Chain A
Amino acid sequence: MSEGSGLLLSPELGWALLAVFSVLWVALGLYWGRRARSLDGFMVAGRNVGLALGAATAMATWVTSNTTMLAPQFALELGVWGMLAYSTASLGLFLFAPLAARIRALMPEGYTSAEFIELRYGRAAWAVFMVLSLFYALTWLVSMGMAGGLLIEALTGIDYAYGMTVVLAVCVAYTVGGGLFAVIGTDFIQSVVVLVGLAVVTIFVLDKVSVAEVHASLTVERPMLLSVLFPAALIALFNNLLFGLGEVFHSNVWWSRAFAMREGVGSRAYLLAGVMWLPVPVVAGFLGLAAPALGIGVARPDMVAPVVAGTLLGEAGAVLVFVVVFSSIASSIDSLLAATSDLLTKEVVARYLLPGAGAERLRRVAGWTVVGTGVFAWAVCLPKVGTLATVLFFAGPMVASMIWPILAGLYWRRATAAGAVLGMVGGTGVGLWVYVSVGWYAASLASALVSAVLVVGATLASSSQFSFERLREGRA
């Protein structure tokens, strides 16, 4: 703990840690970049990723700083249901498992989720999907960039602008250097770091206070946190579940991995990733529940995990938290940069700006779109507008509206373009209205319900049949 300043780490130590990990990630990115010279190598890692790296990258990408920082906050504010609500996001990984296999089988030469939407539903649906998808991806990217700066500042005192800039610059550097190979390779290391770090902190917490003591303390001081019937938390649980499903089902972050994994690996990798991710918010959430029992006062609820670790383990604990948080942020930022670059390169540049460009030229373009996306995110992050949760949860109704168009498109021959467009637009509209008028905790729920009704209704009213073979043929 940095004495006297209230910081967990000194700025000097913070800069040293940033430097060490920045050099490590960039060096690895350049090393793995030797494999990413081709477009396929850069975008889909050669389409031969095995189970170990596949499961690790799916799990690491889904572990964001929100998982390690917001889950404890959820637990502190909404109790046991809060951390369970957060863990329902693992269903996104579980339920994407069969989709990953289906996507690989239907589109063995595919690159993006938007490509599927256009082939399946046509240009109008593609346009709506691109707007929603890019908004979500950039929103998530900005929230992660902001989280990086805010957390580094809170932990070390390093100015927000500097910390945020370093985090984004490092992720851009190794993603440009190595494409999806670098992203997946660093994800493996980052996933092990997060799991080991979380386990170590939790073991130390349990050494100081037992679960029974935490329970007893909460029973006396904050019994609501142990309530089985906590209406706001229950609504948040289903909302978070649908938010998670929408994120995973539509986002090119997950589709690019489905294309990247070797045939037969995808479903097992996502199932395993779900099992590995599921306990993370529960264990992290326990740190939030333990804070009152440990007598640790927390001024900012989203800082409860670092404060608990720093208080119990001293500087070593703070270093561990710093490394875990940096890893969890980097593992998401690199994925978003790569996936967004894929969308922009394949869906915008290759189609409209450089229509005759060959693979080699597009490979160079892909690198530049990573840089451009990173610079855009940096510019939006710099003024530090909005809280972490606000920026991200606004995208909830948008992504939830895409669950049914994606599902129906992959499995239901009769699903129509009109249903898909109505589902996305109607679900988003109603969801955003609920977000503003009722609250964030019901917006995704409303969006998914409305989207389901519209998709199913439009499909039942139609008699058209889609041939899934058209997906294998690709674009003309």
Chain B
Amino acid sequence: MFSAWWLELMVQGGLVLVIGAAVTLVALWLRDLSRRRLW
């Protein structure tokens, strides 16, 4: 059986990654925009 610890790791870790992904996308967008390298 998946332990509570594993489930906690998956869910909390997943949430951190989701938030991190949003932050990363916006940061990269700002970086590319400042360098005029968006597209």
Which A residues are within 8 Å of any B CB, using their own CB? 35, 45-46, 48-53, 55-56, 59, 79-80, 84, 181, 184, 188, 191-192, 195-196, 198-199, 202-203, 206, 211-212, 214-216, 219, 223, 226-228, 262, 272, 275-276, 278-280, 282-283, 286, 289
Interface size for B (C-beta < 8 A) is: 29
Chain B residue at minimal CB-CB distance from A46: B39
The answer to whether A215 touches B7 (Cβ under 8 A) is yes
The answer to whether B4 touches A212 (Cβ under 8 A) is yes
For the A-B complex with A199-B15, A226-B7, A289-B7 known, give 14 more contacts whose Cβ atoms are closer than 8 Å. Answer: A46-B39, A50-B32, A80-B2, A184-B39, A195-B18, A195-B22, A198-B18, A199-B18, A199-B19, A212-B4, A215-B7, A216-B4, A279-B15, A283-B15
Taken together as a complex, chains A and B put the C-alpha atoms of A279 and B10 apart, in Å, by 8
A-B contacts counted at CB < 8 A amount to 109
The answer to whether B7 touches A211 (Cβ under 8 A) is yes
Which B residues are within 8 Å of any A CB, using their own CB? 1-4, 6-8, 10-15, 17-19, 21-22, 24-26, 28-29, 31-33, 37-39
The answer to whether B18 touches A188 (Cβ under 8 A) is no
Taken together as a complex, chains A and B put the C-alpha atoms of A286 and B26 apart, in Å, by 25
Give min CB distance, A129 to chain B, whole Å: 29
Q: CB < 8 Å: which of B8, B14, B25 contacts A56?
A: B25
The answer to whether B25 touches A50 (Cβ under 8 A) is no
Taken together as a complex, chains A and B put the C-alpha atoms of A450 and B39 apart, in Å, by 41
The answer to whether B21 touches A45 (Cβ under 8 A) is no
Give min CB distance, A298 to chain B, whole Å: 19
**Contact A53:B4 (CB < 8 A) given known A283-B18, A286-B11:** no
Taken together as a complex, chains A and B put the C-alpha atoms of A48 and B37 apart, in Å, by 8
The answer to whether A280 touches B4 (Cβ under 8 A) is no
Give min CB distance, B36 to chain A, whole Å: 9
Give min CB distance, B26 to chain A, whole Å: 7
Chain B at the A interface: SS class:
helix
Give min CB distance, B8 to chain A, whole Å: 4
Chain A at the B interface: SS class:
helix
Which of chain A's residues have a CB closer than 8 A to the CB of B17? 275-276, 278-279
A-B pairs with the 4 shortest C-beta distances? A279-B14, A52-B28, A276-B21, A279-B17
**Contact A211:B12 (CB < 8 A) given known A53-B38, A53-B39, A226-B2:** yes
Taken together as a complex, chains A and B put the C-alpha atoms of A196 and B14 apart, in Å, by 13
The answer to whether A227 touches B1 (Cβ under 8 A) is yes
Give min CB distance, B9 to chain A, whole Å: 9
Taken together as a complex, chains A and B put the C-alpha atoms of A262 and B35 apart, in Å, by 14
Give min CB distance, B20 to chain A, whole Å: 8
11 pairs, CB–CB < 8 Å, chain A vs chain B: A52-B33, A59-B25, A80-B7, A181-B39, A192-B26, A202-B18, A211-B4, A211-B12, A227-B2, A279-B17, A283-B18
